[in-house]
Amino acid sequence: MKPISYEANGFPEFLRTEAACQRAIEKGQVRAETPIVAYGEDGERLRMAAGEHPLLREMLGLGTTASEEKPHAPEDPANGGKSSQPVSTAETIAPDVIVTPEDAANPETRQPLPASTGPIRSRTPTDPAPSLRKIFGWLIAALVVSMIAMRGCASDSPVANTKGSNESNTVAAAVDPDAGLVEETFYAVRQIAVRAKANSGSVEVGRLERGAELVGVVVPAESNANYRWLKIKQGPFTGNFVSMLNLSETQRPVLDAAQAGTWYTLEALTPLQAPNDSSPQMTNAAWSLATGQKLEVAGVTGAGTFTKGWAEVMMEKQTGVGYVPFDRLTQNGDLALDGPMDSVEEPRALGLVNQCGEPITLLLRFQDHYGWQTVRTRLPDGIERDLGLNGARAQLVSGEVYFAFLTIGDVPVAYRGTKLTTMFEGKSYDLNRLSFDVVRDDRYRATFTCK
């Protein structure tokens, strides 16, 4: 069928199939009195009521037109041999009446079509203006048609509504909260929860196993900007979040899971951040482990300098993982000390004085309220400094203190003590008993001369 158009909400609506025409009639968008424009083969456009169009009239159930029922009118000799049948009330739209895109978008500014004064007479072939105007008219009409063709002739929504929806989609697409953020790769250090939003109280949507690789952008937590979350950008959890406290930039070491389970510390320890001697210690004070501390071991890695390797450990209610020498753990809780020791006397601080003429590094082992502790400390030359533990002054509950020189200046010392052997950060050290003076009831002082 040839196209038909009618006006809907100030815009032309095109019907190109009989099915589209039927839907428009069923929806009440086209009635017998609805003005339409019928398009012809050679650029002709006829304006008429829908009831006058043969196809629409039949679909509207109005039967055939009067002109179809009557025989062809004979020629009237008194009228110069022309038919005396009156001209149809349908008005021919001249091809040079152009509807621009601006007029189509704003029907209020569209120029009215000229009123019909009778049959449209053809112009003489020698006049080029009609042809040019027809060409330009068709070009403009094609532009208008292409602008609205995307809607389809059977659109259920007005053009105005489609336009509004497109504008909303454009605005939404223009707002990208992650614009300018760089995607990074991280690895899960333990089994972690994946959440719908960047806060720990959000819905858990899944879990990821230790070692899982994640690609995403780092964003602040919803409730506290001091904490960071990773917004996942790839994989099945795209758009969800995991806490950065359980992620690492490095791939996880291979573990021997045969040793996984619950273990206890044989002495006070501070786990390292990685399974090697040069790694820094865990900085969270909660990771300062007392003797007999219960830990969950994920496995043992051979990375390091000792055959028993390092245990990857986790603590209840703490994020992340740490590494401790595996030979400093036991699965028999009875072998670990039964909690903190009782004081044998009033706690005392220990002042350390360096008179070696150059900086020294010491390893000291002593007892506080929580049992035996082993620390490494660096002393500048010529000063007195109190022995510290976890950022605070150590409180000794016993006069039994052991030590070993680690370095004098920057030169390592192969110190050979004879009184006590202890493990520290995966290495074995021989220590001697430390001599000191009682300065006050609450203070000891030990002087090192390096002689």
> Which of 100-104, 140-144, 289-293, 304-308 is most confident?
289-293
pTM exceeding 0.75 = no
pLDDT of residue 234: 92
Mean pLDDT of 34-43: 81
**Residue 298 clears pLDDT 90, i.e. is over it:** yes
Tokens of 276: 């090697």
**Residue 313 clears pLDDT 90, i.e. is over it:** yes
What H or E segment, with its residue span, contains residue 231? strand 228-232
Angle at 426 (CA atoms; ends 425, 428), nearest 5 degrees: 100
**Residue 150 clears pLDDT 80, i.e. is over it:** no
Q: Which residues have CB under 8 Å from 13's CB, separation 6+?
A: 5, 6, 7, 24, 29, 153, 155, 159
What is the C-alpha separation between 380 and 360, in angstroms, rounded? 7
Which domains are assigned to the chain? Answer: 4-160 (no CATH), 184-248 (2.30.30.40), 257-335 (2.30.30), 349-448 (no CATH)
- Local confidence band at 145 (pLDDT 50, 70, 90 cut-offs): low
CA torsion, ordered 392, 394, 395, 400, to nearest 10 deg = 170
Tokens of 112: 């009215």
Closest to 406 in 3D by CA, of 449, 373, 365, 363: 363
pLDDT of residue 318: 84
**Residue 433 clears pLDDT 60, i.e. is over it:** yes
3-state secondary structure of 445: strand
What H or E segment, with its residue span, contains residue 19? helix 18-26
> Which of 121-125, 403-407, 427-431 is most confident?
403-407
Tokens of 341: 């020791």
Distances (CA, A) of 90 to 14, 86, 161, 373: 19, 11, 32, 106
**Residue 98 clears pLDDT 50, i.e. is over it:** no
pLDDT of residue 293: 85
What H or E segment, with its residue span, contains residue 365? strand 360-368
What is the C-alpha separation between 413 and 361, in angstroms, rounded? 9
pLDDT of residue 58: 86
Q: 47 or 119, which is more confident?
A: 47
Closest to 428 in 3D by CA, of 377, 372, 363, 366: 363
Order the strands of the 241-243 sheet from edge to edge: 204-208, 192-195, 241-243, 228-232, 213-220, 184-188, 247-248
| DSSP letter for each residue of 85-101 | SPPPSPEEEPTT----H
pLDDT of residue 50: 86
Q: 446 or 87, which is more confident?
A: 446
Q: Taking the chain, what is the end-to-end CA distance rounded to the nearest angstrom? A: 113
Please report, rounded to a whole number, the percentage of residues in the chain having pLDDT higher than 70.
Answer: 70
Lowest mean pLDDT among 172-176, 198-202, 316-320: 172-176
pLDDT tens profile 195-209: 999 998 899 999 999
